[in-house]
Every structure is written in C-alpha cells, then in structure tokens.
Amino acid sequence: MTPNASFDASLIDRLTTTVSRAASTILDIREQALSPRLKPDLSPVTAADRASEAIILGEIARLLPGVPIISEEAGASPLAAARGEFMLIDPLDGTRELMAGRDEFTINLALIAAGQPILGIIAAPALGMIWRTAPAGGGAQRLRVAPGLDAGQATDITPIRARRMPKSGIVAAISRSHFDPATDYILGRLGQRYGAIERLAIGSAIKFCRIAEGAADIYPRLAPTHQWDIAAGHAIIVAAGGAVTTPNRSSLSYDAGPDSQRVAGFIAWGDPAAANAGW
C-alpha cells in the first residue's frame, strides 16, 4: 500500500488501531514503572515513550512498507530525506505531563506528502479519546475508543468542526509547560482586537484538538518545537476547517531534511480568515 491510499478508510482504521494499542501500552507502563531519564537535550524520556514507539514503528513498516519514518526517539529512516512522502511520529507527546500524573499526554501520527500533512491521528490514552482526519477527505472526527481496542470498536464517532472567530471573548489554547513571553505578547495584541481572552492551559497536542472541535479559537506558540509535535494536529485542524501558519502568518510546510525538524513557532487558527486579519 502506498501513501496515495492514505485516505482509504481501512488504512486509517488500521493506523488508528495501532495508535490505540500503543495507548494501552503507555497506560500499562504508567501503572508499573516509567523509568525516566534525560536525553542529551535535557528533555525526559520514559519506558512508555520507547514501548509506544516500538509498536507504532513496527506496524507502520508492515502497513506502509518503504515509506520513510521520522520519529522523536528513533530519529529518521535512511530514506527519509530522499522521499517526498514520509511519516512523522511522536510516540508520547507530553512526557512531562505523564510524569507529573496528569492525563494530558498524547500519541501523534501524521503522513506528509508534498510538504503538507494529509493524514493525522492524535490519541489521548488516559481520556480514551482519538481525534483524526476522516476517511476519504471527509473532514475530521473524534472517536471514543478504549485503549487497546480496534478502531471498529469505537463507541462514538463524532464529526468535528472548527468555529469561526468570535467578535469578542475568544478562547486561546496555550502550553502548560512551554509558555513563553513572545506568545504572551501575541495574546496581548489579540486582546486589543478581540477584548478579553480566556486562556486554556493544556499539555500536549490536545490543544490542536480543542481548536478542531470548536472549543478554542487560537493556539499560538512562538517557542521552538519539532515537526512531529505539530504535524498530526495541523492535519486535523485543516480537515476541520481551520489553518496552521508560521507566526508571520505564512504557509507552514514540512520536509524530511535533518536540519528542518525544528519549527521556530506557529499559530493554529480555528478560523482561517482570522489569520489574514490584523492584530
């Protein structure tokens, strides 16, 4: 199967099932021993990160043989820089939240083609929720799936849609662990235009999901991050009718080069028209 089949319902369901099984493993390890350690960049990694990644990499290799993979812990496959299509994986986004005993951690999976994420899946294991791009390019969905179960065993599949920017009283999703002065400045500028801003502090990629389902209007992050942190959320927000841009509101693209895995910052918008409006 090739990336051109990425919107085939059976493939999306099988990738969703893979993420669900990884979610179950993370929860099992959380109940036992996380065995955390620091990576060279001083960010934490646990046994749950590594076990989740092993499950996902093995299944993607089986479902999409030959498609390069870039994953947070394993790095890039040798073919990654030479191919136009590749997978971006964060096997456990929000490791600090997991270690702190919070439920705001996710698994992020995205398929990139021509520099854009065309498929995205985000699972919140502790919440039993999965957000994803819908099959056949049919928008975005929220699923309730108990970790470990197949996608076909979802108890609820709900179409989701980002909302238009309110004239006042907007909701901004912000990072719980990585909030920075530059992002605070952007929120101040938005407040001059839209009035009071409710700040919704959340860990991990769940912030993207809140915008995609219409519970928040904007998620600015001007601190550096990585492509694997945001690609799945980017895909889901676009499928739900929103947009993700650079901080200067230009197009945000992805590539597999070793020097391009860092992202200087971005803004996720529920309403693409708001991205073209002044502050």
- Is the domain spanning 3-160 CATH 3.30.540.10? The answer is yes
**Spatial separation of the C-alpha atoms in residues 273 and 131, rounded to whole Å:** 23
**Spatial separation of the C-alpha atoms in residues 159 and 240, rounded to whole Å:** 9
Q: What is the pLDDT along the chain (279 residues), one digit of tens a residue?
A: 344 444 577 899 999 999 999 999 999 999 888 998 888 877 888 999 999 999 999 999 999 998 999 998 876 665 555 457 899 999 999 999 999 999 999 999 999 999 999 999 999 999 999 999 998 668 999 999 999 999 999 999 999 999 999 998 899 999 887 788 889 998 998 999 899 899 999 999 999 999 999 999 999 999 899 999 999 999 999 999 999 999 999 999 998 876 668 899 999 999 999 988 766
Instruction: Give the N- to C-terminal CA distance of the chain in Å, as an integer.
Output: 45
Q: Given CA atoms 219, 34, 18, 129 in this order, what sign does their dihedral have?
A: negative
Phi, psi of 177 (to 5 degrees): -105, -15
Reported as a single tens digit per residue, the pLDDT across 123-155 is 999 999 999 999 866 899 999 999 999 999 999
| 134-141 contacts, C-beta under 8 A, 24 or more apart | 134/12, 134/159, 134/239, 135/7, 135/8, 135/9, 135/12, 135/13, 136/7, 136/9, 137/7, 137/239, 139/239, 139/240, 139/241, 140/212, 140/236, 140/237, 140/239, 140/240
Question: Hey, is 42 helix, strand or coil?
Answer: coil
Question: Hey, is 186 helix, strand or coil?
Answer: helix
**Spatial separation of the C-alpha atoms in residues 233 and 109, rounded to whole Å:** 9
Q: What is the pLDDT of residue 106?
A: 98
- CA distances from residue 226 to 122, 125, 159, 239, 241 in whole angstroms, order as listed: 16, 21, 28, 21, 23
Q: Which fold has domain 170-275?
A: D-Maltodextrin-Binding Protein; domain 2 (3.40.190)
**Spatial separation of the C-alpha atoms in residues 80 and 256, rounded to whole Å:** 6
Q: What is the pLDDT of residue 276?
A: 83
The domain locations on the chain are: 3-160, 170-275
Q: What is the pLDDT of residue 278?
A: 63
Amino acid code (one letter) for 184: D
Residues 89 and 53 sit within 8 Å (Cβ to Cβ): yes
**Spatial separation of the C-alpha atoms in residues 234 and 239, rounded to whole Å:** 9
Reported as a single tens digit per residue, the pLDDT across 66-78 is 899 999 887 666 5
pTM, whole model, 2 decimals? 0.93
